[in-house]
Chain A
């Protein structure tokens, strides 16, 4: 508990950043036409795959004989990459439909 309170005490900039990023997310999306709801959701879904970065960091930090960390991290990278690459690719396919008049 103390550590949580300390975190708030010591990281005011981070906390400001959280609030502003939340507000930015609201603002970015608030005026979107219905037509784009599905592609936008798909695009946002692809972005949520940033979590793959965590998996990469984990594997890099692990010794090469820590098989548990390596295998779990590998699974994480595969899952996250499917989310990122598949997400952007499927979004692109949806948006391709709007391209031609």
Chain B
């Protein structure tokens, strides 16, 4: 009877996770989806606390302390984080999940082997041993890889891509698979091997992520998230726990498909992303033609916007950094008051995560219908007088259409150069996040407004107010 209740409760937990994940993929009900998934997780944890076990002292107090400490840290981190820093935080969380998988796999090993000598002290179930080694391997990569991705997004680690790393990665992968295979197939193999597997996996996580450019970190985080899911599913096999097993597989497969979708949004293959080295490789200054970007005066821009029929704002990471979303909305209100039709064109990969801009603009109360997706924006742009590029760069780079040697060639972009006048708000003439030069800045209908996005917008607002 008790076992039946436990089984049913676990089943309910799994169903809640599935329904939650499903609802997360639709904007109107996504929030409830997150809540339902959290309920499923809570139920799973609760049931796990109550299952009768054959052995052990339960140690409930320690568990409750652990849960309380972890919850507090998680809540504090998630409440404090700036909207712009969310991608990093997700990556950090994912790394901790990977670390958790590694920790419990090590404990599983210690059930039947001595820590330092590797001497066998219990019965070895080779099937479980194999699964445990795989968990260490995948969880280890997810752990260190996510932490490095966190460092890269937070700007703490620079993009360096020694060519040797790509070869080293292949060697690591083969060595790891060989070691796992050897340990499982050969009964005499040393039980020190799991330690070597752990060490190489942790290093491999770093060398796997290092060659990948910071601009591609969202894709990598999604992939590493899938890894953590797979590690959880493998651990679920070892512990014969259905919630871990199904939950892990769901995250593994949905994370994988989400990774592929993100790559598609950038018109690149996953392979291309993982090989890395993206950015900075475009030919520079090949033609001797002197390129001059024209600087705009505030007054010009104010008049252009004030008397335009339609203004389209194109937000990018610069807007996020400057926290300029509310100022955008203020300008929007002002211009709308003058009868200007103000729209926002959001490129699928603007910012550092897909959907990043939507989140920020929604925070500033920009109504959903004002946000145009790429196709709608591109059909409106030719009839638009002014496009304000607010801290976006690569997503409006015409090289993606015109220059087949450009690393971003083929990526769909917002074709802002087709509008009447492009105004680029930018801090300096530096290249964008991907390090690719942007010919848009040198087009005849482009003018630059240098400065921090937020203060430029504020100056623009007061200038327009003065026009009356």
Which of B5-48 touch A at CB < 8 Å?
A: 17-18, 20-22, 24-27, 30-31, 33-35, 37-38, 41, 44-45, 48
20 contacts between A and B (CB under 8 A): A21-B253, A30-B261, A38-B355, A40-B30, A44-B250, A44-B251, A45-B251, A49-B97, A49-B232, A55-B104, A64-B57, A73-B62, A81-B69, A88-B37, A89-B79, A92-B31, A92-B34, A93-B78, A97-B362, A99-B31
Chain B minimum-CB-distance residue to A33: B27
Mask of B63-103 contacts with A, CB within 8 angstroms, 1/0? 10111011101110111010000110110011011011101
Which of A45-101 touch B at CB < 8 Å?
A: 45-64, 68-70, 72-101
Counting residue pairs across A and B whose Cβ atoms lie within 8 Å, the total is 371
Q: A49-B100, A73-B104, A89-B79 are in contact. Are A34 and B265 (CB under 8 A)?
A: yes
Q: What B residues does A40 contact at CB under 8 A?
A: 24-25, 30, 254, 258
Do the beta carbons of B90 and A42 come within 8 Å of each other?
Answer: yes
Q: Is B241 an interface residue (CB 8 A)?
A: yes
Tell me the smallest distance from the CB of A10 to a CB of chain B, in Å: 10
Q: What A residues does B358 contact at CB under 8 A?
A: 35, 97-98
Chain B residues bordering chain A, tally (CB within 8 A) = 115
Q: A39-B355, A53-B241 are in contact. Are A77 and B63 (CB under 8 A)?
A: yes
Q: Is B188 an interface residue (CB 8 A)?
A: no
> Cα distance A74–B256 when bound, in Å?
30
Mask of A1-33 contacts with B, CB within 8 angstroms, 1/0? 111101100000000011001111110111111
Q: Is B236 an interface residue (CB 8 A)?
A: yes
Q: Hey, which bits of chain A sit against chain B, CB under 8 A?
A: 1-4, 6-7, 17-18, 21-26, 28-64, 68-70, 72-101
Q: Is B430 an interface residue (CB 8 A)?
A: no
Do the beta carbons of A24 and B253 come within 8 Å of each other?
Answer: yes
Q: What B residues does A38 contact at CB under 8 A?
A: 86-87, 90, 218, 353-356, 359
Tell me the smallest distance from the CB of B99 to a CB of chain A, in Å: 5
Q: What A residues does B70 contact at CB under 8 A?
A: 52, 77-82, 84-85
Which of B125-133, B158-166, B313-321 contacts its partner? B125-133
Do the beta carbons of A50 and B262 come within 8 Å of each other?
Answer: no
Q: A35-B27, A62-B56, A73-B107 are in contact. Are A45 and B93 (CB under 8 A)?
A: yes
Do the beta carbons of A70 and B100 come within 8 Å of each other?
Answer: no
Which of B202-210, B222-230, B293-301, B417-425 contacts its partner? B222-230
> Cα distance A89–B79 when bound, in Å?
8
Q: Is B185 an interface residue (CB 8 A)?
A: yes
Chain B minimum-CB-distance residue to A69: B107
> Which of A26, A72, A77 has the most chain B CB within a 10 Å cutoff?
A77
Q: Is B221 an interface residue (CB 8 A)?
A: yes
Which of B343-401 touch A at CB < 8 Å?
A: 348, 353-356, 358-360, 362-363, 365, 367-368, 373
Instruction: State which of A4, A44, A70 has its C-beta within 8 Å of the C-beta of B62.
Output: A70
Q: Is B304 an interface residue (CB 8 A)?
A: no
> Cα distance A29–B261 when bound, in Å?
9
Mask of B245-280 contacts with A, CB within 8 angstroms, 1/0? 111111111111110011001000000000000000
Q: A48-B248, A90-B89, A98-B27 are in contact. Are A28 and B254 (CB under 8 A)?
A: yes
> Which of B79, B99, B139, B221 has the most chain A CB within a 10 Å cutoff?
B99
Do the beta carbons of B56 and A60 come within 8 Å of each other?
Answer: yes
- B interface, by DSSP: helix, strand, loop or mixed? helix
Q: What B residues does A80 contact at CB under 8 A?
A: 70, 96-97, 100
Do the beta carbons of A4 and B127 come within 8 Å of each other?
Answer: yes
> Cα distance A21–B265 when bound, in Å?
25
Q: What B residues does A72 contact at CB under 8 A?
A: 103-104, 106-107, 110
> Cα distance A6–B93 when bound, in Å?
37
> Which of B86, B89, B90, B358 has the most chain A CB within a 10 Å cutoff?
B90
Q: Is B4 an interface residue (CB 8 A)?
A: no
Q: Is B171 an interface residue (CB 8 A)?
A: no
> Cα distance A68–B116 when bound, in Å?
13
Chain A minimum-CB-distance residue to B185: A1
> Cα distance A35–B346 when bound, in Å?
10
Q: What B residues does A50 contact at CB under 8 A?
A: 17, 41, 44, 232, 236, 243-244, 247-248
Give the 3 A-B residue pairs with the shortest CB-CB distance, closest first: A81-B70, A25-B253, A86-B74
Do the beta carbons of B225 and A44 come within 8 Å of each other?
Answer: yes
> Cα distance A18–B233 when bound, in Å?
9
Do the beta carbons of A3 and B127 come within 8 Å of each other?
Answer: yes
> Cα distance A98–B30 when bound, in Å?
9
Chain B minimum-CB-distance residue to A78: B70
> Cα distance A14–B107 when bound, in Å?
25
Do the beta carbons of A3 and B348 come within 8 Å of each other?
Answer: no
Do the beta carbons of B74 and A83 come within 8 Å of each other?
Answer: yes
Q: Is B53 an interface residue (CB 8 A)?
A: yes
Do the beta carbons of A88 and B250 come within 8 Å of each other?
Answer: no
Instruction: State which of B62, B89, B97, B258 has its C-beta within 8 Å of the C-beta of A51.
Output: B97
Instruction: State which of B97, B244, B249, B254 has its C-beta within 8 Å of the C-beta of A79.
Output: B97
